[in-house]
A and B are shown apart, each in its own frame.
Chain A
Amino acid sequence: MDAGLVAAQLLNGLQLGVLLFLLASGLTLIFGIMDFVNLAHGSLYMVGAYFCATLTDATGSFLLAVALALPATALVGAAVELLVVRRLYRRDHLDHVLATFGLILCFDTLVQILWGPEGMAIRLPAWADGQQHLPGGLVFPTYRLLIIGAGLAVAAGLYVLVTKTRLGMRIRAGASNPAMAGALGIDIGLLFTLVFALGAVMAGLAGMMIAPITEASIGMGNEIIITAFVVVIVGGIGSIRGAFVAALLIGLIDTMGRSFLDMGLKLLMSAQAAETSAPALSAMLIYILMASVLAFRPQGLFPPKTR
């Protein structure tokens, strides 16, 4: 096993982790602050990707498309909150799951009607489409490095927003005790809409960033949202810091499992058996992690202090 491969896989794991963080941070905020289970979070990821693909076609610039698609996705998020989600806060979690599962079906069908079933490719600008030569002879796709950079920047921005700004203070207040925050004159309704839109923007951004790699396609969010939920649970519900650590952890575990598990298993069993069991086992790794966290630390790795 050479060091270059391990380094490349660390970067791949980091890139997956960053993407998961963008999804999971919105999910954990919405879950933590509004006590709302949003299965349709993945639909906003898909909507972001489709907006970005369409705008890239229209404007010819990927960056401009991202800049325009972000507020557009925020608007969709706000609309979903105002029209549907708002009516469900008082219901129990099963109703949330049912209603947002319905939303997924609506979004998937709507996308099929508007954009057709074939999916949309995004053409990257030439400067983002090549590879970078990193120290140690490592060659890594430029675009994946950009994803890592952008994701870390968003994470830092989110940290500043939540800990250093007035809005962040309100968000934290809403998370600890919505009734008291309301009594102190914070417009809880508006705050919830804002948080939901913020979550939508981050999910949408994740979709925009992955679309040039895998294409925007129907149901793309349903694949990754399960993993994002695992991140939220492992990190501790409502904790952005927890989501960050857990996302990177799960990104690395998943990538390393896919990379090296078959090699490890070949030491224990026949090559044939290792080849067939490695993919199944590596797909299970993150769930094994979740199960252990639930068994030994059910509140998650970094539960928010105030709950």
Chain B
Amino acid sequence: MKKTALALAAAAALLASPSFGADKVKIGFVTTVTTPAGVIGRDMVDAVNLAMQDIGGKMGGLEVELIIEDDGFKPETGKQKTDKLVKQDDVHFVAGFIWSHVLLASRKSALDGGKFLISSNAGPSQIAGKLCHENFFSTSWQNDQTPMAMGEVLNQRGVKSLYVMAPNYAAGKNMVSGVERTFKGEILGKDMTKWGKDAQLDFSAELAKAKASGADGIFVFYPGKAGGAFIKQYQQAGLQGEIALYTVFTVDSIALPNLQKAGMSGVLGSLNTQFWGPDLDTPQNRKFVSGFKEAYGRYPSFYAAQSYDTIFLIKSAVEAVGGNMDDMDGMRAAMMKADFPSVRGPFRYGNNHFPIQNFYLRQVVEDADGVWTTTVVDTVLKDHQDVYAAECKM
């Protein structure tokens, strides 16, 4: 019995030890595959697979191994999966992360394990500021930036008073503080609703309050399926025409197909801000959007765009060091240059490794095929850096 145990332990040790002179680039990708939020994870995984296909499954002559993990929309599961990727799979890059609270719970495991951590979506203020780290990179944005752009839009449009709704978690708080930072009018009311696996999806009470507040506009942040639910109830309550809708990360190509199916035409013409849009005219974006539509028969979301960029960012790092995966310094220096074809066009990284980039105003429209999508109508912020970068000692 003891012998068998020893033999097993030895075998396990053999399997676990990293192979000499890595012959593979290993990327762990943490996202939400189960729960209703799995629809976001699917978009991200589809984009990563498309990117892998577009680069022929190779980076700098090395094979790429991709390990997808499901965080189940829970910070503790995300951390466990990150631990597994770091300790058991010994990946070179831990990427993905939709949710700010999941990323915050997982960051230490990846960074203390000496791995690169790349956020393909979440951009909590903490990681942009005091908790910034040399091995962390973002291919998305810092949470506050997109609502800050929306605040500017509201000022430009002469919106005097606002009602604010967002889920009660790390990103929701950042979104609200972002819009409060730039919006010059008065905020007449605010609701932070329950979020997570058992998130609140019925907003009847909040919408009645918003209506009674008499605000000019309503600003909301409801990512994933909550967005669709919110828009439906907004229209069912007869609020369009009474209180104009301004959103961030809510009306996207994940919510729009279901809204179109449900006939929620109230969303057409509504405005949102974003660093990207499916019709943004860059070479890489044209390739990405047409490739995605061809492969999956639908518009990619911004989650997909950022995930696509993630693979190309990693590729630029691996190629810069000629496939020598032990050269962390070389890979870090390469990534800091942001020298890869991004779907958003050229950008540079700030000291905290968040992109310094443009933010656009987008409007919901019907495309030539009758499919609802968003189109870029204006540039709101040019080469914008997040406000927390100043708190980052790097």
In the complex the two chains form, what is the Cα distance from A262 to B33 in whole Å? 35
In the complex the two chains form, what is the Cα distance from A223 to B236 in whole Å? 23
What 19 new A-B contacts, CB under 8 Å, besides A119-B225, A141-B238? A4-B212, A13-B205, A118-B42, A120-B258, A121-B262, A123-B262, A124-B262, A131-B236, A141-B233, A143-B236, A212-B262, A213-B229, A214-B229, A218-B38, A220-B36, A223-B201, A258-B193, A279-B168, A279-B193
The contact of B261 among A4, A123, A143, A223, by CB within 8 Å, is A123
Residue on A nearest B229 in the bound complex, by CB: A214
Quick check: A258 and B228 within 8 Å, CB to CB? Answer: no
**Chain B interface residue count, Cβ-Cβ cutoff 8 angstroms:** 42
B232 on the A face (CB < 8 A):
yes
Quick check: A259 and B209 within 8 Å, CB to CB? Answer: yes
Quick check: B225 and A215 within 8 Å, CB to CB? Answer: yes
Quick check: B225 and A217 within 8 Å, CB to CB? Answer: yes
A275 on the B face (CB < 8 A):
yes
In the complex the two chains form, what is the Cα distance from A213 to B228 in whole Å? 9
Quick check: B228 and A215 within 8 Å, CB to CB? Answer: yes
In the complex the two chains form, what is the Cα distance from A74 to B166 in whole Å? 38
Quick check: A121 and B205 within 8 Å, CB to CB? Answer: no
B290 on the A face (CB < 8 A):
no
Binding site for B on A (CB under 8 A): 2, 4-5, 8-9, 12-13, 15-16, 108, 112, 117-124, 129-131, 139, 141, 143-144, 210, 212-215, 217-220, 222-223, 226, 255, 258-259, 262, 275-276, 278-280, 283
B194-216 interface code vs A (CB 8 A; 1 in, 0 out): 10011101101110110110000
Binding site for A on B (CB under 8 A): 33-36, 38-39, 41-42, 168, 190-194, 197-199, 201-202, 204-206, 208-209, 211-212, 225, 228-229, 232-233, 235-238, 254, 257-259, 261-263
Quick check: B205 and A258 within 8 Å, CB to CB? Answer: yes
Given A217-B225, A255-B205, do A119 and B39 touch, yes or no (CB 8 Å)?
yes
Quick check: B36 and A12 within 8 Å, CB to CB? Answer: no
Q: A212 to chain B: which residues have CB within 8 Å?
A: 232, 262
Can you pick out 20 interface pairs between chain A and chain B where the beta carbons lie within 8 Å of each other? A5-B208, A5-B212, A112-B38, A117-B42, A119-B39, A123-B261, A124-B263, A131-B238, A141-B238, A214-B202, A214-B229, A214-B232, A215-B228, A215-B258, A218-B36, A219-B197, A220-B36, A259-B205, A259-B206, A279-B192
In the complex the two chains form, what is the Cα distance from A213 to B230 in whole Å? 9
| A-B interface contact total, Cβ < 8 Å | 126
In the complex the two chains form, what is the Cα distance from A218 to B198 in whole Å? 11
Q: A226 to chain B: which residues have CB within 8 Å?
A: 198
Q: B232 to chain A: which residues have CB within 8 Å?
A: 121, 212-215
Residue on A nearest B38 in the bound complex, by CB: A117
Smallest CB–CB gap between B142 and chain A, Å?
Answer: 21
Quick check: B36 and A123 within 8 Å, CB to CB? Answer: no
Chain B CB within 10 Å, residue with most, of A8, A16, A278:
A8
Quick check: A122 and B262 within 8 Å, CB to CB? Answer: yes
Quick check: A258 and B206 within 8 Å, CB to CB? Answer: yes
Given A212-B262, A219-B36, do A141 and B237 touch, yes or no (CB 8 Å)?
yes
Quick check: B198 and A222 within 8 Å, CB to CB? Answer: yes
In the complex the two chains form, what is the Cα distance from A214 to B190 in whole Å? 21
